[in-house]
């Protein structure tokens, strides 16, 4: 066999050996984390982090309510983004499993 | 009968100093009941895995089977969520899972202390995981890791908004990770204590809250396991974001 065929075969063997050392089992069906508490918590956490950062930016730059309000709103948007991503991740895993 | 003050449901979360130690750099590092239960959790983990890896037979007995099933469970979870590159982080994820699940379950023992119901404990773990995952991301991708905050194919005129919102959503990860675990544990235990108070207060009809209490203890055991699993899965997902960047 030529050299490149040998090396590509070696790569394939190494990859297959890597994949078999961790036991191959079908994914479990449990809910991976988007329960109602988790969704509400993500919203609050995003808003909280935004408010926190906004408050300290305001103290640093002496622009009293501006950064706080803006960062609060952006933090809520980030919380909504996280929640939607979590929901999409759960449905994407289910559709991947059915393939 | 001695007139005891009624214990509030929050009394179970008080930190009691067991062995006072001198202050270190202004911080009180005494050995508390929280430390005691952390030591018990770690000791239990060591016991399970020492006894479980003694036999090494091809057809495992009970302890070996338990140890093997726990490892296989975590290894599969890491592989599913973080891909093959997550393999080298299995020891760490495994330690996190075993610590959280044993601390949660130890809290269900009567008269014990739930370590993970204090947000400082869960926040310390979540902050370590967050900082570690960020460092892993920078070590692996260099400054290209910052492209995490501006996904491919997003319109340029939205870029400032998207970057700030993605940054906030990234920073809210340790907060939500820690609060989820602490709030679930604390709320469950407060509920159990309040219902237990009702059992005493209702006298003859105390069997009604008592049966509800029995069901709730079963539910709390399930929540203890589930919250440990969710903590671990989310850690693997954040690790995947750092290793593979979408």
In order, the DSSP letters of B94-132 are: HHHHHHHHHHHHHTTSTT---GGGSHHHHHHHHHHHHHH
Q: Do A79 and B172 touch (CB under 8 A)?
A: yes
Rounded to the nearest integer, the mean pLDDT of chain A is 77
Residue numbers in A near B237 (CB within 8 A): 89
Q: Are B63 and B49 in contact (CB under 8 A)?
A: no
Mutation for testing the B interface, residue in A78, A80, A86, A87 having most B CBs under 10 Å: A78
pLDDT at B160: 85
pLDDT at A94: 57
pLDDT at B23: 85
Q: Residue A33 — pLDDT band, cuts 50, 70, 90?
A: low
H or E stretch covering B204: none
Q: Please tell me if residue B191 touches chain A, with a CB cutoff of 8 Å.
A: no
Q: Are B145 and B138 in contact (CB under 8 A)?
A: yes
Please give the Cα distance from B192 to B197 (Å, whole number). Answer: 9
pLDDT at B212: 93
Q: Please tell me if residue A82 touches chain B, with a CB cutoff of 8 Å.
A: yes
pLDDT at A25: 43
Q: Report the gap between the CA of A53 and the closest CA in chain B (Å).
A: 9
pLDDT digits (tens, 9 = 90+) for B189-209: 999 999 988 888 888 888 899
Long-range contacts of A49-54 (CB under 8 A, 24+ apart): A49/A75, A49/A78, A49/B168, A49/B171, A49/B172, A49/B175, A50/A74, A50/A75, A50/A76, A50/A78, A50/A79, A50/B168, A50/B172, A51/A75, A53/B168, A53/B171
- CA torsion sign for A62, A65, A70, A72 is positive
Q: Please tell me if residue B141 touches chain A, with a CB cutoff of 8 Å.
A: no
Give this prediction's pTM.
0.84
**In the predicted structure, residue A27 carries a pLDDT above the cut 60:** no
Q: Report the gap between the CA of A7 and the closest CA in chain B (Å).
A: 21
Beta carbon pairs, A and B, within 8 Å: 78
Residue of A nearest to B176 (CA): A45
Residue numbers in A near B164 (CB within 8 A): 74
Residue of B nearest to A75 (CA): B168
pLDDT at B92: 94
By C-alpha distance, which of B80, B77, B54 is closest to B66? B54
pLDDT at B125: 95
pLDDT at B116: 94
pLDDT digits (tens, 9 = 90+) for A59-95: 888 877 888 888 999 999 999 988 888 888 777 665 6
**In the predicted structure, residue A19 carries a pLDDT above the cut 80:** no
Q: Please tell me if residue B214 touches chain A, with a CB cutoff of 8 Å.
A: no
By C-alpha distance, which of B246, B234, B245 is closest to B138? B245
**In the predicted structure, residue A37 carries a pLDDT above the cut 50:** yes
* Distance linking the first and last C-alpha atoms of chain A: 36
Residue ranges for chain B with pLDDT beneath 70: 1-6, 246
Q: Report the gap between the CA of A77 and the closest CA in chain B (Å).
A: 7
Residue numbers in B near A45 (CB within 8 A): 172, 175-176, 179
């Amino acid at each position: 066999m030529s050299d490149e065929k040998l090396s590509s075969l070696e790569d394939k063997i190494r990859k297959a050996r890597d994949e078999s050392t961790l036991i191959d089992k079908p994914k479990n069906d449990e809910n991976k984390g988007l329960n109602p508490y988790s969704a509400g918590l993500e919203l609050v956490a995003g808003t909280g982090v935004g408010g926190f950062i906004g408050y300290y930016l305001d103290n640093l730059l002496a622009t009293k309510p501006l950064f706080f309000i803006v960062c609060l709103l952006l933090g809520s948007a980030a919380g909504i983004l996280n929640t939607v991503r979590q929901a999409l991740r759960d449905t994407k895993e289910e559709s991947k499993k059915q393939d | 009968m001695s007139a005891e003050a009624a214990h509030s449901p929050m009394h179970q979360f008080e930190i009691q100093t067991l062995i006072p130690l001198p202050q270190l750099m202004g911080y009180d590092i005494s050995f508390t009941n929280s430390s005691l239960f952390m030591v018990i959790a770690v000791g239990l983990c060591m016991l399970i895995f020492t006894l479980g890896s003694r036999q090494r037979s091809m057809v495992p007995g009970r302890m070996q089977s338990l140890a093997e099933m726990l490892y296989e469970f975590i290894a599969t979870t890491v592989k599913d969520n973080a891909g093959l590159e997550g393999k080298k982080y299995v020891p760490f994820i495994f330690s996190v899972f075993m610590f959280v699940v044993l601390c949660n379950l130890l809290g269900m023992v009567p008269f014990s202390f739930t370590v993970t119901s204090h947000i400082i404990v869960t926040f310390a773990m979540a902050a370590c995981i967050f900082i570690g995952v960020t460092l892993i991301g920078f070590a692996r991708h260099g400054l290209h890791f910052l492209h995490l905050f501006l996904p491919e194919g997003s319109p340029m005129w939205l870029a400032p908004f998207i970057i700030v919102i993605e940054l906030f959503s990234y920073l809210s990860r340790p907060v939500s990770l820690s609060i989820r675990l602490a709030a679930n544990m604390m709320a469950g235990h407060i509920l159990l204590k309040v219902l237990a108070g009702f059992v005493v207060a209702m006298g003859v009809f105390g069997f009604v809250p008592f049966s509800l209490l029995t069901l709730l203890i079963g539910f709390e055991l399930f929540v203890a396991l589930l919250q440990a699993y969710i903590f671990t899965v989310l850690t693997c997902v954040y690790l995947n974001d750092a290793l593979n960047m979408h």
